[in-house]
Structure 1
Amino acid sequence: MITCISVFLALGLGLLLGGTFGEQVIVKEQVQLLDRLEDRYTQAKAENVKLKQESVDLDTKGRQLLHVVSQVSDHYVQDRLPGKKVAILQLEPTELSALLTTLEKAGANVTSTTLITNSRLLYDPAGLSELGKGMAHAEGVTAQERQQRLLEGVVDSLYREGSDSTLLTELQEKQALTVNGTVAQAPDALILIGGAGDENRQRLLSLDVPLLKVLQSRGLTVVGTEPSEAAHSGVRYYREHGVSTVDNVDQTTGLVALIDVLGGAKGHFGVKKTAEALLPKLTNAKEVSAQ
């Protein structure tokens, strides 16, 4: 009996001591873990404060830089294109105020601005069947041939001297496009504003490329442009057809590059992977410095 009692007492004492020791170990590990987590939190909080301050500093420097670039660009573009006749053709709606202001400062004369308001009517077979009913609707004419002749009619009506405006009137009545300015006048250069949102992605190949070919066939000097935030870029298609491009025409540097291209510079400029440089190289640094 004494032996049995001793054994049970030993077992009980062992369990008691073991449980107490185990709880102490667990509590100690938990305290250490909480201490490490608290240290990491404190460190992350300090880094977050530092990053926020760096972000504020960068924003301030960015605004200052944009202000300087804007001031310099005003002097740079001033009277760079005196009397040059420029037309604008928008394939995608874009705010034009900054572009028009820059062209005005450069001394250019914007002869017309045209906006394609319903591009599907100019490439979708169903839309093509409704437009230009007096043009190539004979039996056996394919949709591609009909589009070709329709686009030729549009380009001629807009940019060829003495052309009939009947087709433009029909297209405006059908809400396919809107035109402001003087038509049937050949510009010295044409600014083509492309790029596309998700809903107009198909237009890049179905309309932009055929239209560009027609513009080139008519001997027009075309500059392919688009906003920096365009969801889908058309620059590579313009490049394939030998057209100089600016992929950030909504930004100050893009407007400066555009003025250079309109003045004779060649290449592909902007902020996207398809660009060769942000800006064309200066050809007369002394003149710019004097300005």
Structure 2
Amino acid sequence: MIIDYRYHIASLVAVFIALGIGILVGSAVLGNEVIAERQKQLADRLEVQLEELRQKNEAVQARANNLEIDNNIQRQFEKQVLPPLITGKLTGKRIAIVETNSYGFRDDLVNTLSMAGATVQSVTTILDGFDVTGHKEQLRSELGINDQNDNDMMSFLAKETARGILTGEKQALLNTLSQSELLKLSGDYGVPVDAVIFIGGSQDQTLVKTEIVDYPMMDYFLQQKLPVFGVEETNVTYSYMKSYQKKRVSTVDNVESAPGQLALVLAIADKPGHYGVKPTAKQLLPPFDTTGGVGNGQKGQGVSGNPRP
């Protein structure tokens, strides 16, 4: 951490103010020569301390610069190594993405999936956690929803949205939710998909609605025998990984990084597991065999996309 000069300057100013007061008070007791000598000694000590702080700050700054250089080298290495590791791994796979955190995600995730040979058919974003406050009457009127409490209505909308993603039979519902700014739609709906990726994790606890929103959607896709994958970025405040793992789906908790995207591609390519850097992860990546390919992983993990023996 870089030393904050403002704090130390403020401390020095306070010391000099105290020194001035001391001089005024002590002038009645001590001679001017004694006061001047004490003042010089104190000033010398303060100057030494300030120089020490400056040197420490420079050392910390130099270390931070070196770490930044190392990080840049690592990112460049990952960027160059990732393509040959994933090219062709997902050829012909059609994927639907569901965002339940409203934050969006980086374009390089879609680019990585495309590089691996997959086609992202649709991206569906749940806005504001499907908060129906202020929309209930409209939804009841236009969609014919019976009187329900908020949580039941959100779960109903979540499941019907999942159905619409897969079958295309709920276009009116999707359009209504989109017009109500509860949903953002992109891509083709009602086309077959081979896997569904849920992007979760939140910075806001009020948006954490895994049991109300994520679970009904996941349950629908799992009932259709589709593999489901739950991912999030490393720096989210509220992780969804433990909640997602209760549904026995593969998870990746660092999907913004090259290792995370590699893990996701390999998980979709039938190497399921819980990958990443957080305590909920079992390992960073699927194991590699001695020939350079990806190993078969562990059997019986009981996660989506990995039939039990």
The bucket for the TM-score relative to the shorter chain is 0.7 to 0.9
Out of 148, 153, 159, the position equivalent to 2:166 is 159
C-alpha contact (below 8 Å) 2:197/2:229 kept by paired residues = yes
**2:112 corresponds to 1:108:** no
Query: 1:266 Cα shift?
Result: 2.4
Structure 1 residues 30, 106: CA separation in 2 closer, same or farther (over 3 Å shift)?
same
Distance 1:202 1:153 in 2: 20
d(CA) in 2 for partners of 1:125, 1:214: 25
Whichever residue aligns with residue 94 of structure 1, its letter is G
Q: Paired residue for 1:90, among 94, 99, 107?
A: 99
Correspondence 1:50 to 2:59: yes
Normalising by the residue count of structure 1, what TM-score does the alignment of the two structures yield?
Answer: 0.77
1:172 shift after superposition:
2.8
| Cα offset, 1:286, TM superposition | 2.3
The answer to whether 1:259 aligns with 2:228 is no
Cα 1:150/1:62, change in 2 over 3 Å: closer
Structure 1 vs Structure 2: percent identity of aligned residues?
27
* Aligned mate of 2:217, from 194, 211, 214: 211
Deviations 1:112-142 (A, max 9, x none): 2212235334xx4764564366878457x66
| Cα deviation digits, residues 70-101 of structure 1 (max 9, x gap) | 10012211111111111111112313410111
Name the structure 1 match of 2:44: 35
TM-aligned CA distance change 1:142 to 1:46, over 3 Å:
closer
The 3-state SS of whatever aligns with 1:103 is helix
| Contact 1:135/1:146 (8 A) holds in 2 | no
Residue 114 of structure 1 aligns to a residue in which SS?
A: strand
CA distance in structure 1 between the aligned counterparts of 2:292 and 2:205, rounded to whole angstroms: 47
Gaps of 5+ in 1: 1-17
Give the structure 2 partner of residue 221 of structure 1.
Answer: 227
Matched residue, 1:8: none
Question: Distance between the aligned counterparts of 1:284 and 1:89, measured in 2?
Answer: 36
Which deviations, in whole Å up to 9, do the C-alpha atoms of 1:232-261 show, x marking residues without a partner? 221121012212111222222221111111
Q: Which amino acid aligns with 1:186?
A: P
Task: State the match for 1:65 in structure 2.
Answer: 74
Q: 2:203 aligns with which of 190, 197, 200?
A: 197
In structure 1, distance between residues paired with 2:208 and 2:293:
44
Hey, what's the Cα distance between the residues in 2 that align with 1:142 and 1:191?
A: 28
1:56 is aligned with what amino acid?
N
Q: Is the Cα–Cα contact under 8 Å of residues 195 and 204 in structure 1 kept in the other structure?
A: no
Matched, 1:117 2:118: no
Q: Which amino acid aligns with 1:111?
A: Q
Which residue does the alignment assign to 1:4?
Answer: none
1:276–1:43 distance in 2 versus 1, CA, 3 Å: same
Q: Is residue 189 of structure 2 the alignment partner of residue 183 of structure 1?
A: yes
- Alpha-carbon distance in structure 2 between the residues aligned to 1:266 and 1:235: 14
The one-letter amino acid of 1:262's match is I
- Partner Cα separation in structure 2 for residue 132 and residue 217 of structure 1: 27
Offset from partner CA, 1:42-71 (integer Å, 9 cap, x none): 222222222212211221121111101110
Distance 1:285 1:150, change over 3 A: same
Asked if 2 retains the 8 angstrom alpha-carbon contact of 1:247 and 1:275, the reply is yes
- For residues 125 and 49 of structure 1, the distance between their equivalents in structure 2, rounded to whole angstroms, comes to 53
TM-score, L = length of structure 2: 0.73
Distance 1:266 1:79 in 2: 18
Q: State the SS of the aligned residue for 2:50.
A: helix
Distance in 2 (CA, whole Å) between partners of 1:142 and 1:201 is 18
User: CA-atom RMSD, angstroms?
Assistant: 3.0
The one-letter code matched in structure 2 to 1:119 is: G
Task: Answer whether contact 2:161 2:170 (CA < 8 A) is retained.
Answer: no
Q: Could you give the per-residue CA deviations for residues 151-197 of structure 1, whole angstroms, max 9, x where no partner exists?
A: 3332222113x745333233333332232222223311111111223
